[in-house]
Structure formats: C-alpha cells, structure tokens
C-alpha cells in the first residue's frame, strides 16, 4: 500500500480492501478480454477504405467513403442501447454475467463480417448485413466498458483506483494497436499476403482470427468471480430492483449523469477519436499517405503513448481526476489546428508547399452548390457548374477556399494564377456534357500537377520522426483525458446503480459524439472544402467541456465506492 505523509492524512482516506494477488490476476484476465473486444470493434475502422470498395461500390468515391464511416458509426450509435440493456443486467444480476454475454456477441459478430459476401456478389444485401453485424458489435461494447471499469474498480484499493482502472483504459488503445499489428502483418508483402491480395480477399483474415480470440476470451471470462462490492450488496439485499429508473428517473442522480457527460465525457470522447482514428483517416485520405505507412506510423505512436494511460491514472490518485482530464481538454482545444497543419508539412511536404504557393479558390454562386454528400447515390454532381467544380476537387482531396459570386455566374477554379471555368450544364447536355466535364476534370488534374499538387505522398519525403512525434502528442492528449475517467465515473455513482449510471453517458459521449466524429468531420470537409474544417468539431466540444467541468464537475478521488 502507498504510504502517506501523516497518519491523519491516511486515516482520512476511505477504507477499502487491499487487492490480493489472485484479484490482480482476475483484473488482468478481465482487461485482456476487453482488449479482444476493442480489437473486434476497431478492426472495421482500420479497413474503412477497403470496406467502402467492397460493400458500397454503387456510390461515388467521396460519398462511398463517408457512408463507410457511417456504417462504422452504426456500431457507435447503438452503444447507449447496449449500455441500457447490459447496465440493467449488470446492476441486477452481476458484473461477471455480462462479461460472458458481451464477449460472445462481439466475437461472433466480428467473425461473421469476415464471412460476408460483397456488393458484387450479393448486391444491396451485403451492406445491409454489414450494418446489422456492426450494430450487434455496438450493443456488446455498450455493455462491456461499464462492466469492466466497475469490476476492476470494485477490486481496487481506494488509494490506487485510478492506477488500477487505467489498465482498463489501456484496453481500447491496445485493441486498436493489436488490430493494426495484425492488419500490417497480413497486408505486408514480406510477412503476409501483400497489398493487392489484401484488398481483394486478405482483409477477411483479421476478421476470421477473431474466432480464436473469442475462444481465449471466453476461457478467461469463465474463470472470473463476482466483484466483492456486488456480492456484499446481494448479501445485504441492497441491490437495486429498478436500476434504470433510479439512475435516470431521479433528478439527484440524473444531475450527476448530466454533469459527467458535459463536464468530462464529451471532451474525452472527441479527443480520443480525433487523436487515434480521425488522425489516421486524415493521413490516408487528405494527406494521401499509403495505407501501410499510415498504419505503421500510427502504431508506433500508439506504442510510445500507451504507457501514459498508467502514468495519468497513477497521477490521478495523487492530484485528482478533474485537473488532469480538464487540462487535456484545454490543450486539445488550443493545439489541434496547429498540430494537424504541422502534420501536413511533415507527412506530405509537397502538398503543404503547393497549398502555400498555389492556393485553390472556387468562385461560384452558393445557391447552386451542394454538400458533395449523396448517401443514396443518385446525385452525379453534374447539374450545376458549382457541383462540377467541387466534385472534381473532392475526388482529388484538394484544399480550397470559397468566393461568393452572384446568381447566374458559371463556377470557376483558380489554381495559383490559372483560372479554369467549368462547363455550364445549361449549355451542354447528354454526351456533350459528359465530354465537357471529363475535359474539365482532366484540365484541373493537369493544372494541379503542374503547380505541385502530388497525387500521392512521396514515401521518401515523409519526415517520419516528426510525424510520429505529432501523433504521439495526440495520443498523449488521449491518455490525459481517458486514463483517469473510468475511476472518476465509478466514484461519481452509488454501487447499486453504478453500472447503469456510468455506462449510458459514457456510451452516448463515445458512441455518438466520438463515434460519429470521423463521418461528420469528413462531411464538413466535403461541404466546406477546407481539409482542416472538420477539426472545429472536436475543438469546440473540448473547449465547452473544459468550461463546464471547471464550473460543475466535482473531484472524486478520495471517495468510497462501497456505498
């Protein structure tokens, strides 16, 4: 046990049992099972571009990628419903019981994704089945996190609860890193099937491997016993008969739920998904770094940053949860824009130079411009000159600014000193319009290349140490906000309704605010044209969380969780 400065200070600490050797082994087994669940859940996120090509081939490239992100987000959208279902089970029947169910649902759903037919084989049924399996994954994860955090916290000593629960916080990043390692290994021409074969059929291998992880995870979970806090509640007859009603139907507890959501969880969620997933998509889609290099850079940053989950969990036992979480939110709000501008310069210096020396401007009547997002695939973006211009730039993933023009103006692109006027759909029609649009697109592509806009990032020019340092900083922000939050959420709520109370706000924040961030961010970019525009989303949310947290969020790190 950690020694404190004075006997009086130690006596003031709430009493709790010291974790035994066997309980530490149980905590390890619980955490490892959670790693497997995160592996299953985030595997899709790593393969979004390939999933879009295999399951959403009937859409234009920009819409296809955003729709693939929305399919990814489908798993996040249902996470709060999983929190409700499994939260009630966990508060009523026990933490251990939920572990087995959630792992089984997650593992089977992931394995079946690897067996799905593609759009080419099954048509629209393929993406429908994919969405269904993603939703089952989301339901399972909605029940997993609250149970794992509660289970570990209820085994931990009071004065080390932040450190113990930070092992659960590692599991999300560890699952992502595990998925990255397996994807890199499989797609590598040296150790796996190679890039082309991976895109064709090799992408199924990481999904099918989840069957093996499911077996290992179930074996571990079946060895767990119930938490001592829950056993005590059951023995004393103090467990809740109506956990959902108590958690969300009574203002005393609902008030704490709302404070936890707006004053901690919201900022944590957007920082997590910006620092670990949106950063990966930004490198690949906006900065045009190839997939294998992107995955490798991300995993190095993750491996370097992951120990800091434990560091900040441990530190939160000394100085409190609140200052660390809110400091991470403040840093994110202040630095995300400069960090991603620096990432552009380091990962694709040719693109950064072209953006500076030959900026692209679109002059058009705003009333004729659509968002470049077409979820049903019916818009060919050829009905107005503005859509023709923006569609050409969206396909090239080129950053541009908008200049308003009066109604009736034919849209034009200025690339450096050269201006290219779009074909007017009112003048052209049929095959003539198609030919004019194709010629316009070729002119734009040629002019972009002429002034230095690269089609792909040059691997030899990537400043890898600098990219890794910037990505590591983003992971560090993640560890600040995520490392202590499990302990804080456990400490905020009474044990009889703890599972339900902490699970729902956590999964609304991480499932909706966080999980939708990549899709919303890229949709914002498609609509605005500025490749950095999507970062307003996490910056505003993180800043708001910092202010609300400072005003209303209580400090919890010396509370007892036995009540």
Q: What is the pLDDT of residues 134-192, one digit of tens each?
A: 889 888 888 877 777 877 887 778 888 899 889 888 888 888 889 888 988 998 888 77
pTM: 0.82
Q: pLDDT (tens digit, 9 = 90+) per residue, 405-417? A: 999 899 999 998 8
d(CA 198, CA 193): 6
Task: State whether 330 and 391 are in the same domain.
Answer: no
d(CA 362, CA 523): 18
CATH, residue 483? 1.20.1250.20
Around Cβ 320, how many Cβ atoms within 10 Å? 17
How sure is the predictor about 12, in pLDDT bands with cuts at 50, 70 and 90?
A: very low
What percentage of the chain exceeds 90 in pLDDT? 38
Number of domains in the chain: 2
- Among residues 409, 428, 450, the one where a domain terminates is 450
Task: State whether 200 and 310 are in the same domain.
Answer: yes
Task: State whether 413 and 466 are in the same domain.
Answer: no
The token duo for 13 is 């600490």
CA angle (286 as vertex; 284, 290 as ends), nearest 5: 25
Q: Is residue 367 part of a domain?
A: yes
The token duo for 437 is 């649009």
Task: State whether 474 and 443 are in the same domain.
Answer: no
d(CA 485, CA 269): 11
Tell me, what DSSP letter sits at residue 348?
A: -
What is the torsion angle, in degrees rounded to the nearest 10, for the CA atoms of residue 392, residue 397, residue 401 and residue 407?
A: 20
Task: State whether 384 and 410 are in the same domain.
Answer: yes
Which CA distances in Å does 223 have to 23, 97, 167, 220, 301? 11, 12, 19, 5, 34
Task: State whether 338 and 357 are in the same domain.
Answer: no
Domain hosting 366: range is: 353-450
Task: State whether 256 and 111 are in the same domain.
Answer: yes
Contacts of 186 (CB under 8 A, 6+ apart): 192, 193, 198, 202, 205, 206
Q: pLDDT (tens digit, 9 = 90+) per residue, 465-498? A: 999 999 999 999 999 999 999 999 999 988 878 8
């Amino acid at each position: 046990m950690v020694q404190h400065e004075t006997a009086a200070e130690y006596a003031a600490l709430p009493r709790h049992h010291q974790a035994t050797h066997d309980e530490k082994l149980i905590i390890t087994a619980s955490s490892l099972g959670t790693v497997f669940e995160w592996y299953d859940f985030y595997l899709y996120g790593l393969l979004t571009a390939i999933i879009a090509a295999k399951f959403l081939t009937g859409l234009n490239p920009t819409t296809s990628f955003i729709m693939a992100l929305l399919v990814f987000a489908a798993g996040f959208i249902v996470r709060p419903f999983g929190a409700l279902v499994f939260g009630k089970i966990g508060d009523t029947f026990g933490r251990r019981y939920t572990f087995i169910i959630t792992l089984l649902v997650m593992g089977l759903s992931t394995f079946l994704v690897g067996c799905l037919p593609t759009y080419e084989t099954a048509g629209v049924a393929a993406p429908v089945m994919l969405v269904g399996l993603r939703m089952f994954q989301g339901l399972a994860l909605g029940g997993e996190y609250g149970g794992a955090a509660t289970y570990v916290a209820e085994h931990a000593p009071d004065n080390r609860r932040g450190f113990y629960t930070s092992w659960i916080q590692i599991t999300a990043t560890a699952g992502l890193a595990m998925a990255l390692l397996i994807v890199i290994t499989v797609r590598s021409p040296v150790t796996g099937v190679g890039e082309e074969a991976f895109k064709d059929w090799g992408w199924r291998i990481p999904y099918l491997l989840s069957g093996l992880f499911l077996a290992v995870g179930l074996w571990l979970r079946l060895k767990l016993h119930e938490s001592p806090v829950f056993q005590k509640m059951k023995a004393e007859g103090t467990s809740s008969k109506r956990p959902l009603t108590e958690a969300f139907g009574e203002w005393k507890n609902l008030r704490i739920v709302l404070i936890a959501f707006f004053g901690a969880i919201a900022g944590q969620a957007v920082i997590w998904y910006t620092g670990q997933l949106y950063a990966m998509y930004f490198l690949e889609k906006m900065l045009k770094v190839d997939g294998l290099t992107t995955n490798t850079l991300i995993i190095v940053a993750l491996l370097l940053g992951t120990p800091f989950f434990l560091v900040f969990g441990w530190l939160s036992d000394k100085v409190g949860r609140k200052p660390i979480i809110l400091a991470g939110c403040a840093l994110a709000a202040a630095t995300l824009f400069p960090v991603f501008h620096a990432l552009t310069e380091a990962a694709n210096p040719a693109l950064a130079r072209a953006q500076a020396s030959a900026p692209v401007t679109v002059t058009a009547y705003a009333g004729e411009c659509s968002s470049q997002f077409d979820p049903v695939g019916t818009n060919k973006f050829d009905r107005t000159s503005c859509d023709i211009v923006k569609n050409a730039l969206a396909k090239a993933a080129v950053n541009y600014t908008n200049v308003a023009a009066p109604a009736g103006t034919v849209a034009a692109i200025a690339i450096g000193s050269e201006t290219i006027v779009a074909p007017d759909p009112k003048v052209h029609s049929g095959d003539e319009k198609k030919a004019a649009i194709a010629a316009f697109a070729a002119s734009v592509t040629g002019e972009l290349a002429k002034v230095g806009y690269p089609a792909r990032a040059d691997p030899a020019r990537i400043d890898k140490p600098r990219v890794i340092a910037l990505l590591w900083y983003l992971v560090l922000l993640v560890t600040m906000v995520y490392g202590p939050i499990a302990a804080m959420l456990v400490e905020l709520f009474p044990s009889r309704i703890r599972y339900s109370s902490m699970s729902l706000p956590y999964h609304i924040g991480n499932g909706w605010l966080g999980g939708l961030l990549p899709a919303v961010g890229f949709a914002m970019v498609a609509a605005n044209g500025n490749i950095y525009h999507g970062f307003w989303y996490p910056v505003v949310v993180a800043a708001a969380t910092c202010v609300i947290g400072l005003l209303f969020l209580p400090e919890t790190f010396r509370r007892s969780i036995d009540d």
